[in-house]
Structure 1
Amino acid sequence: MSLTRIKFPAGFWTGLHQLGISPHDVVRKARLPLTIITEPAVSTSQYFAIWEAYSDLIDDIAKGIIKLTTVFETAHYPPSVLATYHARDYRDALKRMARYKQLCPPESLRITEEGKYCTIELDWQYTEQPGPPMLVGITLAFLLELGRRGTGKPLTAKLVEFSQPMGDIQILETYFGCRIRIGGNCNRLTLHRGDLDRPFVSYNAELLEILTPVLDKTLDEHRTHSITEMVKWILKRNLPAGRPDIQMVASELGMSDRTLQRRLTDEGTSFKHLLTQVRHELARDYLVDPSLDIKEVAFLIGYEDQNSFYRAFRLWEGDTPSNWRTQHIGN
């Protein structure tokens, strides 16, 4: 499921290589399995851990922000970013970026145009955790980098505000070409509104015609995912390793257990109900696999003893697991 799974663009790991940083070192520092480098997507907590690890391996947050933002090659952009790079002008690019950011949580962008300026505020979807400073800085730097690469002009910002310390501010002020304010209550990039009308030299109407309908369709499908579906997906993945509790699931979603319970109540369900539902669905899936004995099925769905599983299954299906299996195997 894409909503809780965050895609790391392949270019991220390539970019690290170009900076002389081994992706393996980053993953080890993040205390994650090395296989995560080749996985198509990661959870919110893993995503944040990778950014924290990159930050720890670079001497200074500000230096790390500028290095990765400028080394990232356009050829490695995922389709959602490619669409922004080939937009008609800077305004069109930023609007597309805010729209398609929804395909890659947890960052979310809010754009406001007023008077001479345009502000872009960074927010977080599906998580109450503030993102790592490195990720915050790179997200805002990348928005200016997009305008510079697209227009072919050395654009500067009017003001950049960060809620957390960002290392050597001078480095950032040199890059953004403006004052940097630290310790506010938001992360925000303020641009000169006139720059938004600048055409992109990389404008490609033909490519946009191909990419836009595909991305819009993906976005519509993406929005249909609910918290309920996300919780079920996490439960299904974690049940074989033991009985996951609400704290563990909430942590993976980057929110408190109280917030998760509230969101589930809003969707007319509860964590306990979903856990039961997932166990029932998995029990049926596992029982039609003749290679698994019933004791294994009980263990895989989080029951420590077979009797508890038998009692639960009788409530669900009105039959014993073995009778149910006999009737359904091979059907």
Structure 2
Amino acid sequence: MKSDRIKFPTGFWAGLQQIGIDPYQVARKAQLPLTIISEPVTVTTAQYFSIWQAYSELAGDTASGIIRLATAFETTHYPPAVLATYHARSYRDALNRMARYKQLCPPESLRINEEDEQCTIELEWMDSEQPGPPVLVGITLAFLLELGRRGTGQPITARTVEFSHTMGDRDALEAYFGCPVQIGAAVNRLTLYRKDLDLPFLSYNKELLEILTPVLERSLDEQRRRSTAEMVKWILKRSLSGGPLDIQAVASELSMSDRTLQRRLTDERTTFKQLLTQARHEQAREYLANPQLDIKEVAFLVGYEDQNSFYRAFRLWEGDTPAHWRSEYLRTHPSS
């Protein structure tokens, strides 16, 4: 099942600082809470895209923004799924791992095809009606080449690169990829020389892979087996601040009819209304535990347009006011 939740790597913000872009400016431009910079979070597809769009606008030329971030991002900031690709046995192994573990981090997916002397990697969106911003497309394909260069220690070049949208300075992109860049193509695709896939990775780490691989495979397995109620609550939690969500919208997100969703929730002995209440309650506690967010902002983030409605709901959940609950929490969790 698809779901609208994306783990946003905290290393991204460190990468921005390295290239002289203020992470807080990006978060503000994307209209997201500033706490996103310091805390590991999951975001909706719309929020994910807005972060990349904000970065693109602050970076200026799209091509320059792509190359600067792709080359500056330090391997120490890679999330586990990417770290497993960097420490793969060969470039082929790394790319196949990347395509597999991308499933843990929608909304993009990679389709790899080896034929004759070439290997094509096509970027696809899980929701074809909501394609990502050009800078994200460019970063994704550039990073696949950067991964090969860093892992092998060789100045690998692509055979061709195709983009469906304009990407800024094409000469700069052609210099980076080392090949012609086509704009206005039907697909977003990186084509490599197949022989390069056989190159061994100098960064190969058998011991680390033996630790990372089982963890990532379990995560994939858990993602596939997660209950419908859990999936619904994940979607609700990450969408609360975007306005009220009804069962039809969530069912559509899960690629099923609202009747099917209702039946599955009944089978799991819960209802959509109960899950919405749980999502709001759990998120309210999480946000209130952060003293940097004022209570009015917390009310908005959990989907209440007016503060009084949030106060009434919170009293029902906790038997306490949000302000008093927060002060007690911070008193008993001084290191939080």
Give, as a single letter, the amino acid of the residue that structure 2 aligns with 1:277: T
Quote the offset at 1:279 in angstroms: 1.5
Match of 1:277?
Answer: 271
Q: Which shifted more, 213-222 or 151-160?
A: 213-222
Query: In 2, distance between residues paired with 1:267 and 1:119?
Result: 40
Q: Which shifted more, 222-231 or 63-72?
A: 222-231
8 Å Cα contact 1:27/1:33 also seen in 2 = yes
Match of 1:223?
Answer: 224
Stretches of structure 2 that go unaligned for 5 or more consecutive residues are 282-301, 307-315, 317-336
Quote the offset at 1:266 in angstroms: 9.0
Query: In 2, distance between residues paired with 1:72 and 1:283?
Result: 40
8 Å Cα contact 2:111/2:121 also seen in 1 = yes
Whether 1:72 aligns to 2:73 is yes
Match of 1:308?
Answer: none
Query: In 2, distance between residues paired with 1:35 and 1:47?
Result: 15
Match of 1:188?
Answer: 189
Quote the offset at 1:42 in angstroms: 1.4
Match of 1:42?
Answer: 43
Query: In 1, distance between residues paired with 2:169 and 2:241?
Result: 46
The 1:89/1:174 distance shift into structure 2, 3 A limit, reads: same
Quote the offset at 1:235 in angstroms: 3.5
Match of 1:124?
Answer: 125
Q: Secondary structure at the match of 1:122?
A: strand
Give, as a single letter, the amino acid of the residue that structure 2 aligns with 1:6: I
Quote the offset at 1:128 in angstroms: 2.8
Quote the offset at 1:245 in angstroms: 3.5
Match of 2:327?
Answer: none
The 1:284/1:232 distance shift into structure 2, 3 A limit, reads: closer
Match of 1:263?
Answer: 255
% identical aligned pairs? 63
8 Å Cα contact 1:227/1:263 also seen in 2 = no
Quote the offset at 1:8 in angstroms: 2.0
Query: In 2, distance between residues paired with 1:146 and 1:240?
Result: 36
Quote the offset at 1:127 in angstroms: 5.9
Listed one character per residue, the Cα deviations across residues 224-244 of structure 1 (whole Å, up to 9, x for unaligned) are 247775344333666799743
Q: Which shifted more, 45-54 or 221-230?
A: 221-230
Whether 1:135 aligns to 2:136 is yes
Match of 1:52?
Answer: 53
8 Å Cα contact 1:264/1:270 also seen in 2 = no
Query: In 2, distance between residues paired with 1:202 and 1:100?
Result: 19
Quote the offset at 1:280 in angstroms: 3.7
Query: In 1, distance between residues paired with 2:67 and 2:242?
Result: 40
Give me the TM-score of the superposition, normalised by structure 1.
Answer: 0.76
Q: Secondary structure at the match of 2:32?
A: coil
Give, as a single letter, the amino acid of the residue that structure 1 aligns with 2:45: T
Give, as a single letter, the amino acid of the residue that structure 1 aligns with 2:178: G
Query: In 2, distance between residues paired with 1:284 and 1:8?
Result: 23
Match of 2:330?
Answer: none
Listed one character per residue, the Cα deviations across residues 237-292 of structure 1 (whole Å, up to 9, x for unaligned) are 66799743368x46xxxxxx9xx189222982359x89x912245669999xxxxx
Query: In 1, distance between residues paired with 2:279 and 2:137?
Result: 42
The 1:261/1:95 distance shift into structure 2, 3 A limit, reads: closer
8 Å Cα contact 1:116/1:192 also seen in 2 = yes
Q: Secondary structure at the match of 1:157?
A: coil
8 Å Cα contact 1:84/1:96 also seen in 2 = yes
Query: In 1, distance between residues paired with 2:70 and 2:118?
Result: 23
Give, as a single letter, the amino acid of the residue that structure 2 aligns with 1:279: K
Listed one character per residue, the Cα deviations across residues 123-142 of structure 1 (whole Å, up to 9, x for unaligned) are 11256301010000000000
Match of 1:19?
Answer: 19
Match of 2:83?
Answer: 82
Report how many residues are paired.
Answer: 281
The 1:279/1:62 distance shift into structure 2, 3 A limit, reads: same
8 Å Cα contact 1:81/1:97 also seen in 2 = yes
Quote the offset at 1:44 in angstroms: 1.0
RMSD of the TM alignment (CA)?
A: 3.3
The 1:240/1:196 distance shift into structure 2, 3 A limit, reads: closer
Give me the TM-score of the superposition, normalised by structure 2.
Answer: 0.75
Larger radius of gyration: 1
Listed one character per residue, the Cα deviations across residues 141-199 of structure 1 (whole Å, up to 9, x for unaligned) are 00000000000000000000001110010010000000001111110000000000000
Give, as a single letter, the amino acid of the residue that structure 2 aligns with 1:152: G
Match of 1:317?
Answer: none
Quote the offset at 1:62 in angstroms: 0.2
